[in-house]
Structure 1
Amino acid sequence: MRRGQIFWAVAWREVSTVVRTRSYLLLAIGLLAVFAGTLRAGGGLEGGYVPTAVDLLLPLELLVPLVAVALGYRAFGGDNDDRSVLLSYPVSKRSLVAGVFVGRLVGLAGIIGAPLAVVGVVVSWIGGHESRVFATHGGVDSPVLFIRFLALTICFGAVVLAMAMAASVLVRAGRAALAAALAVLVVVVAGGDLLTLAGLSADVIGDDFLGTALAASPNAAYRGLVLETVVGMATDRGAAIDVSAAVAGLAAWLLASLGSIVVSIDRRPLAGLRAGVGELSARVADALDR
């Protein structure tokens, strides 16, 4: 069996798993409901594609990591840990990791992309006249900008998915995997912004370096890219972030996460850390039961 065939077989296995899991369908429906409520409160639908993207940006900064962690934290851990069986077949580690990642990324794109696509169609129906034309210059709303917003959102989700999968490789127990996933969620959602704020308060980060510092956080990099390449294109106001640094930051998180999975998938590194996380998770669960 060729490497390409192995890759597609593993990827299809993961896609089938996502499709068969009804909770993921409910998750997509829930996202659509959240989007509808947010846009109804903010009035972005009537304004056009870019106002809609602005209204959805903050919810997506929270919801995309949540969906990515839900898809990735049990990819190689928990009750579904069958990597020892898979690795007994003539499957390279890179093919296995790439197949699992791509398969779950397809699921993530469907869960997040489908509700956003529905929103885009609704905007094309009820948005203003300027929302129905393609922009040829700055200051004009355009469906192209909303497609760019959707693509950036999926890319952000891919980075967090890889981080969650990397966390799942470090642990096997279900509770420990959940604890590691929650740690990833906290780091992505708030960690980068809090560290940047602390650096500004301590005068460690200057104003000239702020854009680059924000690019090191996946969440801030995603936000900055949306403001720069979507909102900035329509309003002629940019300089929200260093685009090159933001792209490099997201790529670095993605490649580092996938690389760590390939290195660690057939071994048990940081066993003491795993045991400590498992013990801490058990104590937290016991405390909650009391």
Structure 2
Amino acid sequence: MSEMDDLFAVAARELQTMARTPAMIALSGAFTLTIVAVAAAGSGARGGFVPLVLDLLPFVELLLPLLAFALCYRVILADRDHGEIDVLRTFGVSRLAYVGGIYLGRGLTLVTVVGVSLVAAGVTVLVLSPPAPTFLALNTAADSPLAFVRFGVLAVLFALTTAAIALAISAAARTTRQALAVAIGLLVVFVVGIDATAIAGVLSGTFGLETAPALLALSPNGAFRTLVFSLAVDSGSSASPLLALVGLFAWLGGSLLLAVATAWDR
């Protein structure tokens, strides 16, 4: 078998595992229901696609890393503990094919859940928003479905980035307790740590206000938020989306390289 065949075989195994694991199905369902409930209960769906994005942003920023970490933080560690890595190595499966296959399978699962959730949330705008008054000249460009599509694309990129980070944790950790501790620690840093550091630094004068976007780009969450406000909502933010994009891709690429390097000992 070629390396690509090995990669797709591992990916197929992961997709089957996800489809047969009740806990993962329950987590995916809970995520979808939460996103749809937030969309239906909030005022955003009744105001249009841009208000819906603003309603969903904090929940997606918090819940997506939790879902990605739950899907990926133990997968390589479990294969190592159960001896499956040793079996795959006897068949000549390379590190790259193994890690790539896991990332492809788990990533497809994650993207499917995110996509279904956001499509269902977007439908609430069509169902709940009142019809536009015909006697008013409205600027429809300010609230276009394209804004929600851009938000969805950025959410997928954010999901794949956090999945790569979780995969790196799974590869580098040697015990479940170690993997869980690192995962929880990183989630805390991503969600509140870097934001709090940036705010405290600006308020104390340690950092200038112009350096805040660069500090936020250090966190996948901060980079995702910056991209949403810059590209999806068009809030007039002065932050450059390029720095946030570089930050997200650096986390994604660096995490996958770490996972490949640490998947097993030489």
Q: Which residue of 1 aligns with 2:245?
A: 247
Q: How does 1:1-290 map to 2 (within 5 A)?
A: 1-78=1-78, 81=81, 82-129=84-131, 139-232=141-234, 237-239=235-237, 241-267=239-265
Opposite residue 162 of structure 1, the aligned amino acid is A
Normalised TM-score (structure 1): 0.82
Normalised TM-score (structure 2): 0.89
Opposite residue 171 of structure 1, the aligned amino acid is A
Distance 1:207 1:168, change over 3 A: same
Opposite residue 56 of structure 2, the aligned amino acid is L
Counterpart secondary structure, 1:200:
helix
What is the rounded CA distance, in whole Å, between the counterparts of 1:147 and 1:141 in structure 2?
A: 12
Following superposition, the deviation at residue 55 of structure 1 comes to 0.3
Distance 1:196 1:152, change over 3 A: same
Identity of aligned residues (%): 36
What is the rounded CA distance, in whole Å, between the counterparts of 1:88 and 1:238 in structure 2?
A: 56
Do the aligned partners of 1:79 and 1:173 also contact (CA within 8 Å) in 2?
no
Distance 1:201 1:88, change over 3 A: farther
Aligned-residue Cα RMSD (Å) equals 2.1
Do the aligned partners of 2:32 and 2:113 also contact (CA within 8 Å) in 1?
no
Do the aligned partners of 1:169 and 1:264 also contact (CA within 8 Å) in 2?
yes
Following superposition, the deviation at residue 211 of structure 1 comes to 1.5
- Unmatched 5+ stretches in structure 2: 133-138
Following superposition, the deviation at residue 147 of structure 1 comes to 1.5
Opposite residue 47 of structure 1, the aligned amino acid is G
Do the aligned partners of 1:46 and 1:128 also contact (CA within 8 Å) in 2?
yes
Q: Which residue of 2 aligns with 1:281?
A: none
What is the rounded CA distance, in whole Å, between the counterparts of 2:216 and 2:187 in structure 1?
A: 17
Following superposition, the deviation at residue 28 of structure 1 comes to 2.6
Following superposition, the deviation at residue 160 of structure 1 comes to 1.0
What is the rounded CA distance, in whole Å, between the counterparts of 2:6 and 2:140 in structure 1?
A: 46
What is the rounded CA distance, in whole Å, between the counterparts of 2:28 and 2:172 in structure 1?
A: 28
- Unmatched 5+ stretches in structure 1: 131-136, 269-290
Do the aligned partners of 1:65 and 1:188 also contact (CA within 8 Å) in 2?
no
Distance 1:41 1:9, change over 3 A: same
Higher relative contact order (CA 8 A, sep 6+): 2
Question: After the TM superposition, which segments of 4 or more aligned residues of structure 1 sit over 4 Å from their partners?
Answer: none
Opposite residue 223 of structure 1, the aligned amino acid is R
Do the aligned partners of 2:14 and 2:105 also contact (CA within 8 Å) in 1?
yes
Do the aligned partners of 1:48 and 1:128 also contact (CA within 8 Å) in 2?
no
1:4-38: CA deviation from partner (whole Å, max 9, x where unpaired) = 11111111111111111122222232223322432
